[in-house]
C-alpha cells in the first residue's frame, strides 16, 4: 500500500500567507523593506536557518533565539484561525476509506502544526508527523523524506508526496518518491515549473475526489 505524505502549510491548510504577514511586520518594526531577496532567504527553510539568514541579511544585533521568539509571537494567533484548503477534508476521508496510510511532513513549528491539525480536526487522519524542525533538515533535502519513509517502515519508492513547494518536491523526487504538486497562490510563480516537474499537478484536492459513479462502483465491490 502506498504511503501518502502531506505537507501542511499551503497544501492542507491555507497558511502560507501567515508567514508573509509575519515577515512584513517583523521588518516593518525595524524600518526595513520586504524584498524578494529576503523572501528567497526565508521562504523554504526551517526557523533556525531563517533566523540565521535574517540576522545576517538585516544586520541585527538580536540573537537568533530572540528573532524566533518574536516570529512565534506574531504567528501564534494566526495559526489558531487558519482555514483548510478546498477538497482536503473530503480527500483525506476518501483515502481513509481506502485504507491508505497517511502522514505529515512539515517545516512548520511543531506547536503551530499541532494547533492547526487539532483545531481543524485533521490530526485523526495521520499516523505520524515528521517535523523538519526537529531533524534540523530542510525539505529540499531528500534525507527528511527518507526519514519519514523509514519511520513508517516503507520503502521510499512506495511513497507519494503532496507539496506546494518546488524545492520540497525536488527533495522528495531525489528520495525516489512519486510527487504530486499542489497549487498555492504563495508559490504561483512556480506553477509552470511544478507542472513540468511533478508526476501530477493539481489546483485543488477536489480534482482527486471520486465521481458519484466511482463511489457507487467501489460500494458494489465491497458488498
Distance CA 154, CA 34 (A): 42
Q: Which of 7-16, 137-146, 187-196, 203-212 has the lowest mean pLDDT?
A: 203-212
Of all residues in the chain, the percent with pLDDT exceeding 90 is 78
Above 80 in pLDDT, residue 220?
Answer: no
**Mean pLDDT score, 200-218:** 78
Distance CA 100, CA 98 (A): 6
Residues 6 or more apart in contact with residue 86 via CB below 8 angstroms:
204, 205, 206
Q: Which domains does the chain have, with CATH numbers?
A: 3-14+84-222 (3.40.50.1000), 16-79 (1.10.150)
pLDDT, mean over the chain: 92
Q: What are the angstrom distances between the C-alpha of 23 and each of 116, 150, 219?
A: 20, 34, 48
What would the pLDDT profile of 110-127 be if each residue is shown by its tens digit? Answer: 988 998 999 999 999 999
Q: What are the angstrom distances between the C-alpha of 181 and each of 6, 50, 102, 136?
A: 11, 24, 17, 24
Amino acid at each position: 500500500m502506498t504511503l501518502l505524505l502531506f505537507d501542511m502549510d499551503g497544501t492542507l491548510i491555507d497558511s502560507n500567507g501567515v508567514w508573509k504577514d509575519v515577515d512584513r511586520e517583523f521588518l516593518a518594526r525595524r524600518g526595513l523593506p520586504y524584498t524578494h531577496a529576503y523572501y528567497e532567504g526565508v521562504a523554504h527553510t526551517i526557523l533556525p536557518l531563517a533566523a540565521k539568514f535574517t540576522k545576517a541579511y538585516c544586520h541585527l544585533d538580536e540573537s537568533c533565539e530572540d528573532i524566533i521568539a518574536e516570529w512565534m509571537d506574531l504567528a501564534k494567533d494566526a495559526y489558531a484561525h487558519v482555514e483548510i484548503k478546498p477538497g482536503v477534508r473530503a480527500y483525506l476521508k476518501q483515502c481513509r476509506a481506502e485504507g491508505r496510510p497517511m502522514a505529515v511532513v512539515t517545516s512548520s513549528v511543531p506547536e503551530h502544526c499541532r494547533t492547526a491539525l487539532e483545531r481543524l480536526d485533521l490530526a485523526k487522519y495521520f499516523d505520524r508527523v515528521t517535523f523538519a524542525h526537529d531533524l534540523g533538515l530542510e525539505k529540499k533535502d531528500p534525507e527528511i523524506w527518507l526519514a519519514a519513509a523509514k519511520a513508517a517502515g516503507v520503502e521510499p519508492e512506495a511513497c507519494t508526496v503532496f507539496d506546494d513547494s518546488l524545492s520540497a518536491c525536488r527533495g522528495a523526487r531525489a528520495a525516489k518518491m512519486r510527487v504530486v504538486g499542489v497549487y498555492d497562490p504563495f508559490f504561483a510563480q512556480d506553477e509552470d515549473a511544478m507542472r513540468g516537474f511533478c508526476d501530477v499537478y493539481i489546483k485543488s484536492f477536489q480534482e482527486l475526489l471520486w465521481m458519484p459513479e466511482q463511489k457507487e462502483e467501489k460500494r458494489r465491490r465491497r458488498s
